Amino acid sequence: APMETASLLLRTQWGLLETLNERVEGAAERGEAMLVLLNQLLFLMLCDRWFCPGDRLTGLYTLLFYIILCYLCHYVGNLLNVRGYSPYVHVSDQSKIRHLAMSVTKMVLDLTKGVTVVITVVFMLLVLGLEQGLEHFSPTWTYVLLTALYFCLTERICQDKVPMVLSWLHLESLENLETLWAPVLCKLATSLSSLLMIVAVSFWCSGKGGWGLCLLASYINVYLGLKAMDRHLKVLLQERGRLGRFRFATKQELANFDDVCSVCLQRMTLARVTPCRHLFHGDCLRRSLKDRSTCPMCKQDLWC
């Protein structure tokens, strides 16, 4: 009887923990921006304990600078991409009638953004140029490089550039799925980085409050990060699963084929082979199979 009671109590507590965890995960998905900010702050606090044990505010200052720089770059980029800017808002796309209230709101918002940028630039010049109020802010280059890379991999504005970087690398093994690979790689890299810092701080630099910081970072940075990676990975595997039954072409087959992909008309150095012996880029074949289940070349049914 005591064993059954203990088992029942344990199952009840475990059920409560699972319910609490589900609610926390749901709240994290709804408040993604705040979760990202907390994730970044926790990682920088871990780096503080490892690289700057004498100054616990280095991470806070560093995160502030990164956010300001990111905002400035994003704002300047938007200004450079604007074409045909107008401060007025029309009632509809086809109408020339101006909506007074919305036009005034847009002007105020644009003016506020401009003033914010000016104030931010002046503040950064004062801080970085005159070194006002940051006598103890002296992070090492290793600290700056590590935290800057982590910030870029977690910040949404920077993450949107990762597929472009992957495309620039011309990694054909990704089969033009860079937009799906990018979040998986980012989440994996940040989760592993956080895990390494947690292990390092736990064993060598725990100190006062160190264990609480490590536990919180373990849940938010590692556990929730891997959960998010798993969601993105399922989407990636689902898309790659469309090509699972089509093997890769050998170098000899590519040499014998010596032609372009019939879908995109581009040369192929990596291709998939259909049962009817036709070769296509993996992404071209995947996109074609979304619309129809036949070979793009001979129209033979590929799912029979």
Q: What is the pLDDT of residue 31?
A: 66
Q: pLDDT tens for residues 148-188?
A: 999 999 988 888 888 888 888 877 777 778 888 999 999 99
24 — pLDDT class (breaks 50, 70, 90): low
Domain, as residue range, for 271: 251-291
Q: Is the pLDDT of residue 119 over 90?
A: no
Give how many domains the chain has, as a whole number: 1
Average pLDDT of the residues in 50-58:
77
Establish if 260 belongs to a structural domain. Answer: yes
264 in a domain, yes or no? yes
Average confidence score pLDDT of the chain: 78
Q: What is the pLDDT of residue 274?
A: 87
Q: Does some domain include residue 108? A: no
Residue 274: which CATH number? 3.30.40.10
What pLDDT score does 194 carry? 94
Helices (DSSP H) in 83-177: which residue ranges?
100-124, 130, 141-154, 156-159, 162-169
DSSP per-residue letters across 214-235: HHHHIIIIIIHHHHHHHHHHHH
pLDDT digit string, tens, across residues 221-268: 999 899 889 999 998 888 887 777 888 888 888 888 877 888 888 888
Contact 41, 63 (CB under 8 A): yes
Phi, psi for 260 (deg, rounded to 5): -90, 165
User: What's the half-sphere exposure (Cβ side, CA atoms, 13 Å) at 217?
Assistant: 27
What pLDDT is recorded for position 121? 67
87 falls within a domain: no
**In this structure, is residue 176 part of a structural domain?**
no
pLDDT at 2: 63
Among residues of the chain, what percentage have pLDDT more than 70?
72
Among all chains, which residue has been given the structure tokens 């969601």? 231
Torsion angle in degrees (nearest 10) through CA of 142, 146, 149, 152: -120
Asked whether 87 and 28 are in contact (CB, 8 A), the reply is no
**Residue-level pLDDT at 98:** 67
Residue 285 lies in a domain: yes
Residue 132 has pLDDT above 60, yes or no: no
Which pLDDT value is given to residue 195? 94
